[in-house]
Structures are given as structure tokens and as C-alpha cells.
Amino acid sequence: MNFLRAIRNGRVDPKYYHKVFLTTIICLIASPFHLWEKFKDRKLGKLDKPPIFIIGHWRSGTTFLHNLLSQDPSTGYVTTYQSVFPNNMYSKLLFKPFMKWKIPSKRPSDNVKLNVDYPQEDDFSLSNMRPAFYEFFYFPEIYKALFDKHVLFKNCSDKEIVEWKEAYNKLIIKAKTNTKGKNILLKNPVNTARINKILEMYPNARFIHIYRNPVVVYLSTKKFFQELIPTLQLQKTTDDQIMNMIFDLYAKLMQAYFDQKSLIPKDHLIEIPFESFEEDPFKYLEKIYRQLEIDNWQQATPYFEEYLRDIGGYQKNIYRISREELDRLKKEWQFAFDELAYDVPEGIEIV
């Protein structure tokens, strides 16, 4: 089982043994159905259109954009159910009711609504299929090694890279089949640093990079990780460890993107500042459909309008930052401030 392999790579603290036990029981129950899954997977088809990838650091607006674009009935995506049970897609009638019973109604970190059929990040699926970066949520202390191997593909053999590509392609095809979408839309922040490998797989892939003021991204990611990681971790983690991890990951992720984005054909990349997108989403939605050659714009518009009305009362967080953190941000992330044309935003309280 992939879960047992994953926990062998990290140090599980005794206080989390019960989580390992319960997860192992669920894996044991689900495992026999994986044989049926492999049999059915032999008949998987192929993608007839290039995938569309939403990229950008966590808390840059990727979830908002993903949820909004997924309102188009012609769009396919990885669901929250698939992210947890990627090897039980043909036995979902058995496992979906259990997940519906256990899943919270909102994400604990930001109150975004959750549902087994809602769109989800695909690296969660990968981490339940094979070795993947999102194992760092279990073991934050080894995040550097996981990032280097599973995002930057450092010291990976050709065989390991081929296996990753095959697993990712299968995941995408199954997502498209499951949601019956004509256009497949993927959202995964770590793909921001995987442009080169994605283009090797899908030379005509489309990319939407949504970005946000680095100060707000830092503060929002800090809150997000401090509230999410304790629900998933299998080892004790301090706030200082999380803070240092955020500083390091942002620098690595964004620098990799700036180094690789020239590989993308000009017409296949759209870059969107979150602040402008939030003010006038339809302006950018229409640009996305036109430039990336996505059909169904007229039919999708009413669904976008309805979704935006439904979330109209969403309350955003109010942030404050210490002078020490701000000085460190301006020192370590200055390259991103310069590249994205940002400064310290108004309304942030410095304490």
C-alpha cells in the first residue's frame, strides 16, 4: 500500500499512532478493490484536447479560479473524492457515502465549502497513488527532500520520471472520465515549478498563472498551513518550522516558474493578478476562453454568474505582520516583488 510506503519514509510520533492505525484499516478495506480498478483501467481512453493547468503559489487565488471555472458544465476536473480514493473510482458507490459522512462542510483553514464532488488539487490524488510531494503534510521536516525529488525531479532516474508521467496521465484521464468533461482543468500549486515536465507530456497544454501580493500570500499561507497541517501531520511541528518552510518553498517555487515560463508558447499562457481578477472576474474569464481557445463561453456564463452571486458574502481574513517577518520577506522574496511589480500593500498592520 502506498500509505505504508509513505510512513516508512518519515518519523511518526507516538501521539499519532492512532491516525496511522485508522488510516491503515481504511487502506486495507479499499485495497481489494484496486485489482478491479487495474482491470478497468486497461480500457482507459486518451485525451482528445490539451489539459488546462491553473498554477500559482498556495493562497494566490488558485482555489477561487478553479472553483469558478469548474462551474462550466463542459469542464472536467479531479474531485475531492478522487483526491482521497484515486484507486477506487469504479467502486465509489461503496466509499463515497463513507467520505460524505466524514468530510467537514468547510475547509478548516479558510471556511471554503467542501464536498466530495467539488474540484480538488491533483497532488493529493498522486500522494494516494505513488510517492508525491504532498507527503510533506504528513512529515513537514522532510519537505525539502520531497520537493527536490517530486517537484524538481532532482536525482530521479529516467524510470522514475516515466512512472510519474504515466501515473499523472492516468489520473487526468480518469478525472475527465469521472466528471464527463470535454475540457480537463487541473489545479495544483506545485505544478508552478513543473512546467518543463508538463510540456514534455502535453506540448500544447494551456496555463493560467494567477498571482498575488507576496505579503498577503505569506500571511495567508501561514494561517492556512498552521490550521491544515495539524489535521494531517504524523509528527510534531512548530510554528517556526512552518514559517521557515513557507519562506523556502515560495522562493523555490516562484524562481522555478520564472526560470521555466519562457518554455510555454506565448498564446498558451495567461497571467492574472488576483487583485484585478477579484474586481472584474468576467473580464479575465472571457480572455481565458478566447486566448486558450476554450469553447462553450456563452453556455457557461450563467453558471459563472450564479456562482459569483452565491459567494458574494464571503468574508476575507484581516492580516497583521511583524516587522521582523516583513523585513525577511523583502530580503528573501525581493525577486518576486520585482518580477510581479508589488510592494507592501495598504491595509496590512505592521506590529
Asked if 208 and 199 count as a contact pair (C-beta separation under 8 A), the reply is: no
Burial class (CB in 10 A: 0-12, 13-18, 19+), 119: buried
Three-class secondary structure of residue 348 per DSSP: coil
* Residue type present at position 149: K
Classify the C-alpha dihedral 303-308-313-319 as positive or negative: positive
Please give the Cα distance from 70 to 52 (Å, whole number).
12
Q: Are strands 320-321 and 349-350 parallel, antiparallel or unpaired?
A: parallel
- How far is CA 171 from each of CA 23, 44, 123, 131, 277, rounded to the nearest angstrom? 22, 11, 10, 14, 29
Please give the Cα distance from 316 to 132 (Å, whole number).
31
Q: Name the CATH architecture for the domain at 2-320.
A: 3-Layer(aba) Sandwich (3.40)
pLDDT, tens digit only, all 351 positions of the chain: 666 666 677 788 888 788 878 888 887 788 777 777 777 777 788 888 999 999 999 999 999 999 999 999 999 999 999 999 988 888 888 888 888 887 887 776 666 778 899 999 999 999 888 889 999 999 999 999 999 999 999 989 999 999 999 999 999 999 999 999 899 999 999 999 999 999 999 999 999 999 999 999 999 999 999 999 998 898 999 999 999 999 999 999 999 999 999 999 999 999 999 999 999 999 999 999 999 999 889 999 999 999 999 887 655 667 889 999 999 999 999 999 999 999 998 878 888
> pTM score, two decimals?
0.93
Residue spans per domain, the chain: 2-320
Please give the Cα distance from 110 to 220 (Å, whole number).
9
